[in-house]
A and B are shown apart, each in its own frame.
Chain A
Amino acid sequence: NAGVTQTPKFQVLKTGQSMTLQCAQDMNHEYMSWYRQDPGMGLRLIHYSVGAGITDQGEVPNGYNVSRSTTEDFPLRLLSAAPSQTSVYFCASSYRSVAGDTEAFFGQGTRLTVV
Chain B
Amino acid sequence: KQEVTQIPAALSVPEGENLVLNCSFTDSAIYNLQWFRQDPGKGLTSLLLIQSSQREQTSGRLNASLDKSSGRSTLYIAASQPGDSATYLCAAPSISNTGKLIFGQGTTLQVKP
Residues of A in contact, count (CB < 8 Å): 31
Do A99 and B53 touch across chains, with their CB atoms under 8 A apart? yes
Which of A30, A33, A48, A101 lies in contact with B51, CB distance below 8 A? A101
**Which residue in chain B gives the minimum CB-CB distance to A96?**
B97
Q: Is the interface of B mostly helix, strand, loop or mixed?
A: loop
Evaluate whether A56 and B98 lie within 8 angstroms (CB atoms) in the complex, with A42-B104, A99-B31, A106-B44 already known.
yes
B70 is an interface residue with CB less than 8 A from chain A = no
Evaluate whether A31 and B98 lie within 8 angstroms (CB atoms) in the complex, with A43-B103, A106-B44 already known.
yes
Chain A nearest CB, measured from B27 CB (Å) = 14
Give residues 19-57 of A contacting B (CB, 8 Å): 29-33, 35, 42-43, 45, 48-50, 56
Give residues 16-47 of B contacting A (CB, 8 Å): 31-32, 34, 36, 41-46
Do B100 and A90 touch across chains, with their CB atoms under 8 A apart? no
B89 is an interface residue with CB less than 8 A from chain A = yes
Give residues 69-115 of A contacting B (CB, 8 Å): 90, 92, 94, 96-97, 99-109, 111
Do A31 and B51 touch across chains, with their CB atoms under 8 A apart? no
Number of A-B contacts (CB under 8 A): 77
Which of B31, B36, B43, B106 lies in contact with A109, CB distance below 8 A? B43
A58 is an interface residue with CB less than 8 A from chain B = yes
Contacts of B105 in A (CB 8 A): 42
B109 is an interface residue with CB less than 8 A from chain A = no
Which of B41, B89, B99, B103 lies in contact with A94, CB distance below 8 A? B99
Do A108 and B99 touch across chains, with their CB atoms under 8 A apart? no
Do A101 and B98 touch across chains, with their CB atoms under 8 A apart? no
Evaluate whether A104 and B43 lie within 8 angstroms (CB atoms) in the complex, with A31-B98, A99-B51, A99-B53 already known.
no
Can you list the 4 inter-chain pairs with the closest CB atoms, starting with the nearest?
Answer: A31-B99, A108-B43, A102-B93, A106-B44
Q: What are 15 sample pairs from A and B whose C-beta atoms fall under 8 A apart?
A: A30-B99, A31-B98, A33-B101, A35-B103, A42-B103, A42-B104, A45-B100, A48-B98, A99-B31, A99-B51, A100-B32, A104-B34, A104-B93, A104-B101, A106-B46
Q: A100-B52, A104-B101 are in contact. List 11 more A-B contacts (CB 8 A).
A: A32-B99, A42-B103, A42-B104, A43-B89, A50-B98, A101-B52, A102-B99, A103-B46, A104-B34, A106-B45, A109-B43
